[in-house]
Structure 1
Amino acid sequence: MAAAPGGWRAAGGRRRRAGGEAAGAGAVLRRLREARDDLLSSGFWEASAGAVRAPLGSSAEPPAHCVCYGLGRFSVCPAARHQLAFLLLLLEELGVPPGRCALFDPAFSAQEADALRELGLRLLPENEEGKHDVEGSATLFYMVHCGKALYNNLLWRNWSAGALAKMVIIGNSFKGIEERLLSRILERDYSYIAKVLKGTEEVALPTHPRYLDTFNDTSIHWFPLQKLKELSPEVWEFMEEPMYQDCDDLEIIRKEDRTDRHSPAATES
């Protein structure tokens, strides 16, 4: 991706497909540039950038990679398009190359996958169910409006003080999850969210009348190593993989619930 004053362009050297797919991806990119302009002109991005810098002070390691889950159908959904534009501005702000940002949503169409590749972004080859190992690299996870199980799975996969300290999560407020769920449900179904709450720092994105639905209940979360070390040893002993057998409202698409990302349904322009 090349960032220019007028907006984003397709990554250089990338061959365009002939016919309708190329034209369709071009239309999506045009709408994406419009969404970027909206974020910048509204002042929302400028205010949000300050909140995002909070976990990236002198003591924090800047992210080297980014993973995005659950973006949705950004070719047809304005909210998803603004969320993607926000992510691209975020990568620029943090100096993360597009090639180090990987995305997955089983709902992505072929047209949307093409547009993401045009921007230089990567597509994850399979549904990880949120179980992405940071593997020692500081990683930003962008998970706006994702289901609770995705956050819980991500925490489980990286359940150590050293790994969690390398993560920043932009997504549904953990405080909000705690407030909305009965304690017994939170501890039974989403135990890793419950256990990490006392080791979490959280700053909410600013509210803006134009984006009340797009970024509502969205916070930046990070896990200072010192706070994690203050948790009781028992917190780290239980590391069983979440199964959600008793969960009635599981907000996650499992691996076995495969959706064809390259369905012919994506012919929007």
Structure 2
Amino acid sequence: MAAATAAALESWQAAAPQKRRSAARRPRRREAANRSLEAKFESDSGVVLRRIWEAEKDLFISDFWSSALETINRCLTEHLEQLKAPMGTLSDIFGNLHLDSLPEESDVAPDSIPRETLVTGTCHLKCVCYGIGNFATCIIARNQLTFLLLLLEKCQIPRSHCWVYDPLFSQLEIEVLNTLGVTVLSENEEGKRSIRGEPTIFYMLHCGTALYNNLLWSNWSVDALSKMVIIGNSFKGLEERLLARILQKNYPYIAKILKGLEELEFPQTSQYMDIFNDTSVHWFPVQKLEQLSTDIWEFQEEPDYQDCEDLEIIRNRREDPSATD
């Protein structure tokens, strides 16, 4: 019995160091695997940032950029005038183009892009971007993102004052956006964001119609709408494409606001035809809004889209567990 016990003890003592060495090796393998994943992630984000920088260079020197900027300038000038912004503010915003030269390529390296600092000026526009898509893999989405970045620079909107969301963003894309300095929203708002009295540009290219309808509902007052600018799908185009009864039933806020807005179409060029087609700048003159009937403003029922076919937005499942994509 003693001999058997001694043999078992010797066997355990011989095996124990091997177990300790095995246990010690496993964390090192995990650490190595983690380092490998981190290195690959940094490499991937560097590739995406480089592609954004290259797209930005091409867009910046294009005729489309200068023409689109002129269109936005015309709209924002009128928009700011109705907000009684000082004339000096308009000069501050549009008088000096801060994109005389683009950043060097090294500026878009993952470790070298500084977050944009706040700018001085008397008019503090904010920006919200919905539905820009998977810019890491899609060239259309990437060009739309680069346009947004240039627009923020031109309008002197700090990137930290630009909120971005798309339910399809990958973790890589979220990290790239964080690196670029914009604020990535963590929750699907379905477009239901109130501006809370702050002049705001909404950048919503090729978004579902319900997203625009939700946004209008969330800001359904003369005061709020007069402080908004929407760059996105042409409302006139929506009116032309949809049957009147469908527009009024499923998207009532768009139907009701058509007589209360001004719209300027984006220029069309062959180079960016598929990227910015059917895009307009919309703003809401106080004079037009005040001419709408009282009944229009009293209707404030939240959209639910229960009977709406082909709903082109992804619902917030936490609020609506039964919602489908």
What range is the shorter-chain TM-score in? 0.7 to 0.9
Q: Which residue in 2 is equivalent to 1:52? A: 72
C-alpha change, 1:134 and 1:187, in structure 2 (3 Å) is: same
Structure richer in strand, relative to its length: 1
Q: Structure 1 counterpart of 2:204, which letter? A: M
C-alpha change, 1:174 and 1:237, in structure 2 (3 Å) is: same
Distance 2:38 2:306 in 1: 47
Distance 1:43 1:103 in 2: 27
Shift of 1:42: 2.0
Shift of 1:60: 4.2
Distance 2:308 2:178 in 1: 36
Q: Is the 8 A contact 2:82 2:286 kept in 1?
A: no
Distance 2:70 2:82 in 1: 15
Q: Which residue in 2 is equivalent to 1:261? A: none
Return the index of the structure with the highest Cα Rg: 2
Q: Is the 8 A contact 1:149 1:251 kept in 2?
A: yes
C-alpha change, 1:181 and 1:257, in structure 2 (3 Å) is: farther
Q: Is the 8 A contact 2:45 2:172 kept in 1?
A: yes
Q: Structure 2 residue aligned with 1:29, among 49, 59, 62?
A: 49
Return 5+ residue gaps in structure 1 as ranges.
1-16, 259-269
Shift of 1:55: 2.1
Instruction: Please list the CA deviations of residues 115-149 of structure 1 after superposition, one character each: whole Å capped at 9, or x if unmatched.
Output: 10011001111000000110010000000000000
Distance 1:63 1:81 in 2: 26
Q: Structure 1 length as normaliser, TM-score?
A: 0.87
Structure richer in helix, relative to its length: 2
Q: Structure 2 length as normaliser, TM-score?
A: 0.72
Secondary structure class of the residue paired with 1:39:
helix
Q: Structure 1 counterpart of 2:307, which letter? A: D
Shift of 1:257: 8.1
Percent of matched pairs sharing the same residue: 55
Distance 1:120 1:37 in 2: 19
Q: Is the 8 A contact 2:209 2:312 kept in 1?
A: yes
Distance 2:249 2:216 in 1: 15
Shift of 1:245: 1.2
Structure 1 ranges of 4+ moved more than 3 A:
60-63
Q: Which residue in 2 is equivalent to 1:78? A: 139
Larger relative contact order (Cα-Cα within 8 Å, sequence gap ≥ 6): 1
5 Å-filtered alignment, 1:1-269, equals 18-57=38-77, 59-61=81-83, 64-256=125-317
Distance 2:133 2:317 in 1: 19
Instruction: Please list the CA deviations of residues 74-115 of structure 1 after superposition, one character each: whole Å capped at 9, or x if unmatched.
Output: 010000000000000100111100000010101111111111
Distance 2:279 2:300 in 1: 27
